[in-house]
Structure 1
């Protein structure tokens, strides 16, 4: 059985009837959208989504930094006095 990762849930039928009331009732929380009692989607507030995208972007950037730090084939030796 799959877990529902939200404190609020609504069926697709409820979402079709009144999407704004579902968003209003949940406040700043995510809402699990259920289809046959299984989560088929999550409705998250815009602010939460934006924060998640920042976290994903930071994570991907850190992976690229790690990759470049461990790739010694493109290293250039420089003298700090010459800079």
Structure 2
């Protein structure tokens, strides 16, 4: 039985197309949404994303880590009184 995978972008290209014209395939595929899924035998093998989209994903991951840290510290209950005028 073949596994069915969800493709998380509107643009797709085959690995063959990528081999034939790597930069053209990536440039055309990422022009609209910033991402293209590269398929191998009609299954997603990997995604190519623009540097801007990759940076955005990195910021999201960093923000999620900071949020988790803040929630952990908040649950810990160790608060410090701060006057905004003193900052």
Give me the TM-score of the superposition, normalised by structure 1.
Answer: 0.81
- The CA distance in 2 between the partners of 1:47 and 1:9, in whole Å, is 19
Give me the TM-score of the superposition, normalised by structure 2.
Answer: 0.77
- The CA distance in 2 between the partners of 1:79 and 1:12, in whole Å, is 57
Runs of 4+ in 1 over 6 A off after TM superposition: 76-80
- The CA distance in 1 between the partners of 2:23 and 2:56, in whole Å, is 22
Aligned length: 79
- The CA distance in 2 between the partners of 1:51 and 1:61, in whole Å, is 15
- The CA distance in 2 between the partners of 1:49 and 1:38, in whole Å, is 22
Which whole-Å deviations, capped at 9, do the CAs of 1:19-60 have from their partners, x for residues lacking one?
Answer: 111122121421101011000101111100100110110011
Match of 2:52 among 39, 44, 47: 47
Contact 1:9 1:34 in 2 (8 A): yes
1:13 corresponds to: 16
Query: Which residues of structure 2 form unaligned runs of 5+?
Result: none
Structure whose alpha-carbon radius of gyration is higher: 1
Query: Which residues of structure 1 form unaligned runs of 5+?
Result: none
1:23 corresponds to: 26
For residues 69 and 17 of structure 1, do their structure 2 counterparts lie closer, same or farther at Cα, with a shift above 3 Å needed?
same
1:38 corresponds to: 43
- The CA distance in 2 between the partners of 1:65 and 1:13, in whole Å, is 46
